[in-house]
Structure 1
């Protein structure tokens, strides 16, 4: 409990977590409202065949996409900033069990991120529904609850991954670059190479995570179900995080 209290003080006494949280709120809610307003303005669609498709997954995409990315950056900085300023050495001197420090930080930031994104996902859906009304017949939760509860699960796993990467590389620029390029660019590029991309795509971790987040049919030759995709992503995160725990106990602070 003492380690958790120390990590809570670190998290709440610095400005970056508050700024990051504000950015997540603005992106998550703002994008949902913007998409709903566009749907209302173009209720007949570009082809005159009906309203643009708006589903729960699209409504919460600001939270699950940009919002979680900001939280991943924040999580990585909670580690790399301590290495940069030497604060991590004091933590390891006070708590010789280094794994306990990393696990406490992960639990605190991960639970906070999960709660924040879960609440924002529900608010984003409600606002989008209130704005669009009957103009978005696909915006219903009956059979689509996974679009809401998948977001906090994804956020927790992403925070866990970001902290693991931060522990491994120790530098803020390297950790942020790896997180952003990996999830937004590298996997999309690999999946774009014709037959090779179609073969590799089912084994890319963030592609599996995106499949779990989406209530629509996700393109690809998948070898397992939607929940299998979540398990695949979780196992990948666990491997990276376990590697970080091994390295942090073997390497000098």
Structure 2
């Protein structure tokens, strides 16, 4: 508990988490208001309220990466490892605190987006009537939290804010889609890429969408909903395990 309290204090006494949290909420809820406000009266779907999820995700990953790279930048990571020789315990505590914060931000953004849609268009059917609807909303926090674990792992491996953020943004915004351009095997590889699989968890087969563009992009993964979540979680924790192993073997 002492480690968790220490990491909580370090996280909440810096400005970047607050700014990233506010930006995530503004982007996701703002897009929900925009998309809902431009649909026909009575139109729309639960999935449409979560359209901003894909724009909040990069900000969340920046938040998580900065929670690590900022410590390397100012040398406080060295002090942490001197005070806590068990580096794995210190890093797991940091990961737990950041992931929990991101989970809360994700749920607030998802339900805030859903709430603003109901407020702006009370005549539309935004009721959470099915498990797919519930996952589409509540699943945002889970995906954000696991994405934060991935970002922390990248931050530990790269250790520089600009490099880690650039790597995360390039991969998240471009690399997975570019993989599809590889002749013959591109689409087969893309089915197993982590963020494509994460979208499978959120969107399922898309049966609850009002239109193709409603909500996060549909996934081409063939995994079932909960298997997709398990796959993304496994990827996140394997990345974290690699990062902790590397961190334990090199100088702080």
- Indicate whether the TM-score tops 0.5: yes
| Shift in Å, 1:197 | 2.6
Deviations 1:118-151 (A, max 9, x none): 12211211211221233x44x3311111111211
2:201 to 209, 212, 228: 212
Rounded to whole Å, the distance in 2 between the matches of 1:106 and 1:27 is: 24
Rounded to whole Å, the distance in 2 between the matches of 1:104 and 1:55 is: 38
RMSD: 1.8
1:98 to 78, 87, 91: 87
Rounded to whole Å, the distance in 1 between the matches of 2:243 and 2:54 is: 25
Judge conservation of contact 2:28–2:55 (CA < 8 Å) in 1. Answer: yes
Q: Which residue does 2:48 correspond to in 1?
A: 58
Rounded to whole Å, the distance in 1 between the matches of 2:219 and 2:73 is: 42
Deviations 1:19-50 (A, max 9, x none): 111111211211111111111xx44xxxxxx9
Judge conservation of contact 1:80–1:167 (CA < 8 Å) in 2. Answer: yes
1:178 correspondence with 2:177: no
Q: Which residue does 2:121 correspond to in 1?
A: 132
1:3 correspondence with 2:11: no
Tell me the TM-score normalised to structure 2 length.
0.88
| Shift in Å, 1:203 | 1.1
| Shift in Å, 1:74 | 1.0
1:122 correspondence with 2:121: no
Per the alignment, do residues 211 and 223 of structure 1 end up closer, same or farther by CA in structure 2, a change over 3 Å counting? closer
Deviations 1:179-226 (A, max 9, x none): 111111100111244643321121111100011111415453x44312
Q: How does 1:158-237 map to 2 (within 5 A)?
A: 158-193=147-182, 195-215=184-204, 216=206, 218=218, 220=220, 222-237=221-236
Rounded to whole Å, the distance in 2 between the matches of 1:55 and 1:108 is: 33
Rounded to whole Å, the distance in 1 between the matches of 2:48 and 2:155 is: 30
Q: Which residue does 2:100 correspond to in 1?
A: 111
Deviations 1:87-134 (A, max 9, x none): 100000000001111111111111011012112211211211221233
Rounded to whole Å, the distance in 1 between the matches of 2:181 and 2:151 is: 25
Larger radius of gyration: 1
More displaced, 190-199 or 64-73? 190-199
The count of residues paired between Structure 1 and Structure 2 equals: 239
Runs of 5+ unmatched residues, structure 2: 208-217
User: Equivalent residue of 1:61, what SS?
Assistant: coil
Tell me the TM-score normalised to structure 1 length.
0.88
The answer to which structure has the higher helix fraction is 1
